Each structure stands twice: as structure tokens, then as C-alpha cells.
Structure 1
């Protein structure tokens, strides 16, 4: 077990080193950032001073090894306080140091450099921005897990019914919608169109209920399964209702709408709003639209994976054996089917949770949510490369940690998985 964990940790560190190396050379070889930071009439002395401050005047290979040295929890630095390779306690969060000759091995928190724009520590910028993104990711993932698994299980247990077909169609639509498009759509509908009053055309709803109820009575009279033909009836009912609504719009007669209270949700906002007199005020309702947007795609994926995996497991011989022994269906589902069907779901959950930190860029930008995504977007606009590089490193490290925890969790969920 311990050997396996260390081997996976070593593999993760190797992946992280590769990401750091690629990111460093992509941004470093892209041009001189100083030219974009200073005014057009800035003197050469000012430019040289900025390059020296951020060590941009060093050769590329020295910048690279210095960057790796700063990221490492244990780095080698000069003991001379006048040297450019001295670990300044005002910049580095130093825990301990061991002097070796003219140098020192310094044990510290990873140092991500300083922002070109604000001159703040990148670690502090990310630390301030991360809570907003983590709250979004946890709530969106929790919503996706609870609803996705519930719908997926219900869809599998009611295969080829209206519930199953509806779940499949909605999950395909959810997976097909890009995050930025869904964010714009939900912000427009929930925060603008339906802000004061939620208006829905009544004709499609009326015909939907009419056709579905008629089909239900027909099935009951002919002793057919209650769900037989329900999907077709629902689609036809909505279609006829849409035609009736279109006719009423064209001729200006029979326009019929149902009005409900509006959402009252803002198009943009963060977890805390700042009031001049009261200071920061918690605004939980600002979470609703971003969480829904961020959770749509993982929700759709979890529905599909849960349904397909559970259907496959329910056909296995050990399930038939459990039924032959007279076990209740609920016990078969909870004790035997679900534990064996959760592996692909866990993989999807771990991957999506980590990718939410990267995918939150579009969502946070559209909703003006203060988090790592919005901070990264602003840094890209301002050519603030240390902040962008720091955000990428943090997201990559999150992927590594979550994948390691997922591999360990497999052995708990599925006894067939042996880590050693």
C-alpha cells in the first residue's frame, strides 16, 4: 500500500514537472513582457530595472532552474544577503534552513513569484481567489453527484420508459452545451428575462397535460403499462401546443401566458457584496446561477455513466445468483450492484472536480464571480504572466492530488482492486 502510494506520488510529481516546464517555456519564449508593462515613453533604464527586479535579464536556463528552485519545498540559495540568489524572508515563507558552505538549503512554501501588475505575491493572489472557486466547484459537483446518480439509477431501473428516454435526451443536451454558452444563456434568462416575472406560454403546457392524461387513461382502460407511449404523447402534445402558440402570436388572438414570481437573481455577483456602511455582506443567492451552469455538464456525464454501468452490472451472474437466493431488489441494488457500478462514476467525479477549477474561467467571467478563473482571465488580459503560470501550476497540482486520492478510494469501493 505504502509503496503504491509513493509510486503514484512520484508519477504525479513527474507529470507536474512536465506541466511546469511546458508552461514556463511557452510564456517565457513568447516575448519580452516588460514592453507590455511600461509606457511607450519609458526609458531604457526603467526597463532594465524592471527586468532585473523580476530576474528577466538572466539567461533562459537560469530563469528556468530558478523557477524550479522556487517551486520546490526545499531549495538551494545563497547565504549572502546581497546576492540575487538570496532567499529573502520578506518574499519567501521560510520554515527552516541549513547552511552548507556559502549556500543554504531552505525549506519553504513554494514561491510563485510576484505579479507584474500589482507587485503582490502570486501565492497571496491565488490564496485570496481560491475560496470563491472552491465553493463553486464543491457545490456544483455536489449537485451533479446527487442529482446525476439519482437520475441515473432511476433511469436504469426504469429502462425504456419515458423517464429513461427523457433522462437520456437531457443528458445529451447537457453534454453538448459549451460552458460559456450555457453561462450566457442562464445569465440572460435567470438574471434578466425572468428577473421580475417568470412568463411561460400556456398552450404547450395545456396540450402536454392533455395528451399525457389521455394516454394514461387509455393505458389504464386497456390494461397496458402506465408508461407505454407516454414519451410520444408528451412530444406530440408539446408540438401541438407550440403550433397553437405560434398561431395565436400570428393572428394576435388567444395569447395565453402563465405568470410566476421572478427569480430575483442578479446576472453578476460574488459570494460577498461590499456595502459602504455594512462592509462585506454574504449573498448566497449569487451562487445559484454559476453553480447550475458549472454543474450541468458533469451532471449529464454522471447520469449516463451511472445508468450504463448499473445496467451492465445488473446483467452479471452474481446478480442473478443473489436474486435466486431470494434477496430483495433493494438489497441487491445497494449491497451488490451499486458498489460494482461506481468505478467509472468515481473516475468521472474526480476528473470533473479538478477540471472545474480550469473550466470556471468562462463561468466566473460571465457572472463576474470573484475566483481563480476571473483572476486568471484578468491576468491574461494584462500580460501578468506570473499569475497565469501560478494558476496553471495550482490546477495541475490539484489534478495530481485528486487522481492519487481516487486511486486509493477505488480499493474502498471495490474489493477487487488491490493497490499492492
Structure 2
């Protein structure tokens, strides 16, 4: 081995560490960790600012008349201590993976969320997948056929998707397709009396596929279709309009006209020169839309009796279950952080200029 080989390897390793993409990822991860701490503070403060007395909501009026019972309940739940001390206790519990105990179910909040989060992830994941395929596809078609009949039809449909209230659409879809036409199955994640698949991910469709339970897979997919399509309609309209604008902007660039002047096939020009730069702003909208789907499924879950985070958050808020409310807020905040981190990484992969900005 030559004496210069080891320093050469060290220099190569240092260059790898100091690469623009590595620095970009490190900055984003550090920022995400700092924001995670801020999320814990915001959720704690906002939860404690909610009007109402959690003691009255959980004990009832008869027990509320006994000062000894009230004092004991507040002491058991740490509500007799100053707010800064309560926040430090909350942080200490988070560091040990403890989100507290639900005052309604009397179970660890982490266990309750472990049951409800996968249901919402499955619903929102299916909705965003349908939205990306249809929304981006419709947007590209509308841009390539600008001012033609298909463009006008897609723009009208996208406007309808954005304008129709999701809760109203959920009620109409449930009434028409289940109650009247009996095309779709009823509420819940699987048919009544059917045993859920062995839990691996908590997503019934994925777990049924992994365990080979084809009957459960068919039932879970059927129950998932209607709420996912209802939830996806707004995002499809949003992505259609946004993708159309982004593609039209790129189509007017000089390098696209040069590629066409060289005689390159239309498919090559579209996928190599148009879609890649056009996807950068579309990724931002898709990331925000996915976060909105995760945190905005309350009404759709209520209509279709989907046992997700939305239902859990609603029950916790109406009963002033503070540990559960803070747990839901933390989960939603962390989901947004993860989505933004993924979006930033995709930025760096698609557009090298972002890495050095």
C-alpha cells in the first residue's frame, strides 16, 4: 500500500461529509429537532389555555362538591403544580416514551395512539396516493392540451373538487353508494364479525397482504375505497390546478424549446426536461396536502365510523382529556415535521441548486 493511500481516503471521506447534500440534510435534521421541542411547548401551552375545568369534565358534579376528592385528583394528575413544573414533567415523560395516561380510557396515551394512528395513516396514505396519481396526471394532460376541450373539462372538475365541502360529500357518498345503491360496504375498517389480520404495521390492507388473508384484504380495501376517494377529491383538484400551472411555466422555458428544436421525442422532452423542474413546487403542495389529510380527517372518520386519530382527538377534546389532547397535538406536529423533512430531501435530490442555497 502506498503511503499516500490513507490520506487520500481521509480526504475522500471528508469531501463526502462536506458534500452539499450532506450539509443540506444535517441542517434540515437539526432544524427538525429544534422544531420538535417547540411543538411540545406549543401543544402544552395551548392545551392548558383551553377554557374549561378538566376536573369537572372527568369527575362530574357530585364528586366535584367534595374538596378532598378534587384535591386528590389534581395531585394524582400533577395539576396542583405550577405550569413550568408540569411542562418539565411532560418533557421528562416524553424522553422516556411516556405520553401520560388518558383520563377517559385510563390507558397510556401511547397505547391509544398506537391503535388509532395506523387507521388514519392508512386512510390518508390511500387518499394522497390517489391524489398524486390523478392530480398530477390530470394537471399534465391539461397543460399539454391547453385551451382545448379536455383542458376546460379538467379545470372545471378541479374547481368542483376544491369547492365541494368534504363533510357534505362524505354524507352524500355514504347515503348514495351504501344506503341507496349498496355498492360500497358500510362503516368501519372491515366487515362485522371478521377477524383483523395479525398486526405488523397496523394497516389492515398491508397486514392482510403480508399474512395472506385475502378475504380480509378484499374487505379492508372495499371499506377504504369510499372514504379515501372522498378525502382525496379536494387534493386532486388542488394538485390538478397547481401541476397545470407549473408545467405550463416550464413549457415556456428556452431549454424546452431547444430540446424540441433538436427533434427529441415528445416523451423524452416531457419526462426529462419538463416534469423534473415542474415537480419541485408540486412536491411542496403534496407535502402540505398530506399533512392536512392526516390532521383533517375528523369529519370523514365520523361519517364512515373510521377509528382513527380524528375520532380520538374529538372524544379527547370534548372531555378535556389533556394528556390525550397533548398526545394528538404532538403526533400531528411530528407528522408535519417528518413530511417537511422528506419534502426538503426530495428538493435536494430533484434540484441541485437547493443543496447549496
Q: Which TM-score tier does this pair reach, normalised by the shorter chain?
A: 0.7 to 0.9
Match for residue 90 of structure 2?
Answer: 67
Match for residue 281 of structure 2?
Answer: 344
Say whether 1:36 aligns with 2:23.
no
2:165 counterpart (167, 178, 182): 178
* Distance (Å, rounded) in 2 between the aligned partners of 1:305 and 1:393: 30
Aligned residue pairs, count: 313
Shift of 1:31: 4.1
Structure 1 residues 13-35: Cα deviation after superposition (integer angstroms, max 9, x where no partner): 33333333232122224343111
* Distance (Å, rounded) in 1 between the aligned partners of 2:89 and 2:192: 40
Which structure shows the higher helix fraction?
Answer: 2
Say which SS state the counterpart of residue 295 (structure 1) adopts.
Answer: helix
Match for residue 74 of structure 2?
Answer: 51
Say whether 1:156 aligns with 2:136.
no
* Distance (Å, rounded) in 1 between the aligned partners of 2:87 and 2:178: 46
* Distance (Å, rounded) in 1 between the aligned partners of 2:255 and 2:139: 21
8 Å contact kept, 1:179–1:359: no
Match for residue 392 of structure 1?
Answer: 329
Shift of 1:38: 0.8
Match for residue 8 of structure 1?
Answer: 28
* Distance (Å, rounded) in 2 between the aligned partners of 1:159 and 1:185: 33
* Distance (Å, rounded) in 1 between the aligned partners of 2:41 and 2:185: 43
* Distance (Å, rounded) in 2 between the aligned partners of 1:388 and 1:272: 27
Shift of 1:407: 0.8
Structure 1 residues 375-394: Cα deviation after superposition (integer angstroms, max 9, x where no partner): 11121222222112111111
Shift of 1:312: 1.0
* Distance (Å, rounded) in 1 between the aligned partners of 2:129 and 2:277: 21
Say whether 1:191 aligns with 2:178.
yes
* Distance (Å, rounded) in 2 between the aligned partners of 1:344 and 1:26: 32
8 Å contact kept, 2:184–2:226: no
Match for residue 265 of structure 1?
Answer: 185
Structure number with the bigger relative contact order (C-alpha 8 A, sep ≥ 6) is: 2
Match for residue 331 of structure 1?
Answer: 268
Shift of 1:403: 0.5
Say which SS state the counterpart of residue 39 (structure 1) adopts.
Answer: helix
* Distance (Å, rounded) in 2 between the aligned partners of 1:272 and 1:385: 31
TM-score by length of 2: 0.83
Match for residue 253 of structure 2?
Answer: 316
Structure 1 residues 45-79: Cα deviation after superposition (integer angstroms, max 9, x where no partner): 222222121111111221122112222x3xxxxxx
* Distance (Å, rounded) in 1 between the aligned partners of 2:246 and 2:232: 21
1:23 counterpart (10, 22, 43): 43
Say which SS state the counterpart of residue 283 (structure 2) adopts.
Answer: helix
Gaps of 5+ in 1: 74-107, 196-262
* Distance (Å, rounded) in 2 between the aligned partners of 1:329 and 1:342: 18
Structural RMSD (CA): 1.8
Say which SS state the counterpart of residue 78 (structure 2) adopts.
Answer: coil
Gaps of 5+ in 2: 1-20, 197-214
Say which SS state the counterpart of residue 272 (structure 1) adopts.
Answer: coil
